[in-house]
């Protein structure tokens, strides 16, 4: 076991002041979010900025649904990256596999909580799902594939992938050994057990890949199949959802890898090769998404109905123009950063351009998700109603900030008490020690 001691989380159970301060701030923000939700439950959805479409001149979907789509999008790159590492046996990316898996699980949990916040009366919504659900509806697929099946498969993958590290950690941990023993569940790292786990995770990765593409496409169909809703009805909605999910997810993964690299001093395991891969993959997906944006723009402007052109005009020149151009500008600047990083030899090993691009594409993704959800409700109705408006209330902002803080807190706690970087195989650790 001596070969593994350097990589085990031997600091578990101790609380440096900086780490503890961040945790306290995050807990306080989560508390504000809980207070906002309690206020919403007590007073009703009237305390939010949400109103019915048409006579009430508002939007029934707003900031909550924006972040449902955003959180689900983050999950895409996480589990797809982990599955790709397993299927293609990309050993140089193995150190980021667990970070990707955890990103998926945390993001899907946050998406589920955001749906609960949007329902207003979540218990009634859950009961009605079983009473009146139509399996052919994209809404049904969203709950069954994304929130249930997708999350369950990701949890199983994370659990199986972590059993060996839980067993190794139990051998040297001073505290919380019961937790590692529970996770290991009798695992002893024999050759037979390793082979069995490799087979199980391989087949699970094969099953997850089509599941996650189907899940994200289904979420796009929720919008794209609504014929009577200008701005939503489009064959590009499903592929655009999948591509933007990959863009935002890879961007967030780059930020997480950089944070772990810096704060846990993992410069050796999380080297330039990993950021080169993340940069290349993000660049390709970003180029693809910008192409889809241009195609959608030209199609709606040249051949769209009058109401489609009205919605597009609002995005380009109207009330939502500042969000649209800020989002697109963020994508373009991120792409420029990635291209410059490749073009300039002095930046090819730099981490900051990838992190900056990751932050920009995530801000842009939030803006684009908002523009998918809101304008088609306030400006895109086919019925003879006046144009509506929507402004999120403080309760919505507080609850969303609370959800984001909860996600960061969950990630920090996991990273502190469990190896976030997968421990090396015994042979690899012995070779490293010999050098």
Q: What SS3 state is found at 48?
A: coil
d(CA 358, CA 342): 16
First to last CA, the chain: 18
Determine the Cα–Cα distance for residues 93 and 83; give it in Å rounded to an integer.
11
> Residue 370: phi, psi to the nearest 5?
-60, -40
- Which parts of the chain register pLDDT below 70? 1-15, 145-147, 304, 425-435
Return the pLDDT at 426.
Answer: 55
- Taking only the tens place, the pLDDT of each residue in 335-394 is 999 999 989 888 888 899 999 999 999 999 999 999 999 988 888 777 777 788 899 999
pLDDT tens per residue, range 24-57: 999 999 999 999 999 999 999 999 999 888 777 7
**Domain residue ranges in the chain:** 17-224+235-424
Other beta carbons less than 10 A from residue 225's beta carbon: 16
Alpha-helix runs per DSSP H in 173-271: 177-184, 191-224, 237-263
∠ Cα 189 194 197 (to 5°)? 120
Distance, CA of 140 to CA of 242 (rounded, Å) = 19
Could you tell me the sign of the dihedral formed by the alpha carbons of 113, 117, 123, 124, in that order?
negative
Helix axes 272-303, 321-343, angle to 10 degrees: 140
Cα separation of 291 and 194, whole Å?
44
DSSP count for the chain of H helices, then E strands: 16, 0
**DSSP secondary structure letters along 115-167:** HHHHHSSHHHHHHHHHHH--TTSHHHHIIIIIIIIIHHHHHHHHHHHHHHHHH
This prediction's pTM:
0.90
Whether the CB-CB separation of 327 and 333 falls below 8 Å is answered with no
Rg (CA), the chain: 23
Identify the architecture of domain 17-224+235-424 in CATH.
Answer: Up-down Bundle (1.20)
For residue 191, the model assigns a pLDDT of 85
Are residues 57 and 389 in contact, defined by beta-carbon separation less than 8 angstroms?
Answer: yes
Task: Give CA–CA dist 411/27, Å, rounded.
Answer: 13
């Amino acid at each position: 076991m001596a070969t593994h001691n350097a990589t085990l989380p031997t600091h578990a159970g101790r609380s440096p002041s900086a780490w503890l301060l961040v945790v306290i701030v995050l807990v306080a923000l989560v508390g504000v979010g809980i207070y906002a939700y309690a206020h919403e439950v007590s007073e009703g959805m009237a305390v939010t900025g949400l109103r019915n479409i048409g006579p009430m001149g508002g939007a029934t979907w707003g900031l909550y649904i924006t972040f449902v789509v955003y959180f689900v999008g983050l999950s895409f790159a996480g589990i797809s990256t982990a599955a790709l590492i397993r299927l293609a046996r990309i050993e140089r990316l193995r150190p980021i596999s667990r970070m990707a898996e955890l990103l998926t699980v945390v993001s899907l949990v946050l998406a589920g909580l955001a749906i609960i916040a949007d329902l207003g009366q979540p218990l009634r919504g859950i009961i009605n799902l079983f009473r009146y659900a139509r399996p052919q509806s994209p809404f049904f697929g969203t709950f069954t594939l994304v929130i249930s099946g997708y999350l369950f498969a990701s949890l199983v993958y994370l659990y199986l992938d972590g059993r060996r590290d839980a067993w190794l950690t139990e051998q040297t941990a001073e505290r919380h050994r019961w937790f590692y023993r529970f996770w290991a569940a009798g695992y002893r790292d024999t050759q037979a057990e390793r082979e069995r786990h490799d087979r199980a995770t391989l087949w699970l990765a094969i099953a997850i890949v089509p599941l996650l593409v189907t899940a994200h496409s289904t979420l796009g169909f929720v919008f794209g199949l609504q014929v009577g809703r200008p701005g939503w009805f489009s064959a590009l909605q499903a592929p655009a959802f999948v591509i933007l999910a990959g863009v935002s997810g890879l961007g967030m993964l780059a930020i997480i890898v950089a944070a772990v690299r810096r704060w846990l001093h993992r410069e050796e395991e999380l080297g330039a090769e990993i950021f080169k891969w993340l940069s290349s993959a993000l660049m390709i997906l970003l180029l693809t998404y910008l192409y889809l944006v241009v195609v959608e723009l030209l199609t709606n402007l040249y051949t769209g109905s009058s109401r489609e052109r009205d919605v597009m005009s609002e995005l380009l020149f109207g009330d939502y123009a500042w969000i649209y151009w800020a989002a697109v500008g963020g994508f373009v600047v991120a792409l420029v950063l990635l291209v410059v990083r490749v073009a300039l030899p002095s930046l090819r090993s730099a981490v900051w351009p990838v992190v900056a691009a990751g932050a920009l594409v995530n801000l842009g993704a939030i803006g684009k998700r908002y523009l998918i959800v809101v304008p088609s409700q306030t400006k895109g109705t086919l019925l003879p109603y006046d144009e509506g408006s929507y402004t999120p209330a403080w309760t919505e902002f507080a609850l969303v900030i609370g959800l984001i803080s909860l996600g960061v807190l969950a990630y920090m706690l996991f990273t502190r008490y469990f190896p976030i970087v997968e421990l090396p195989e015994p042979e690899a650790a012995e070779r490293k020690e010999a050098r």
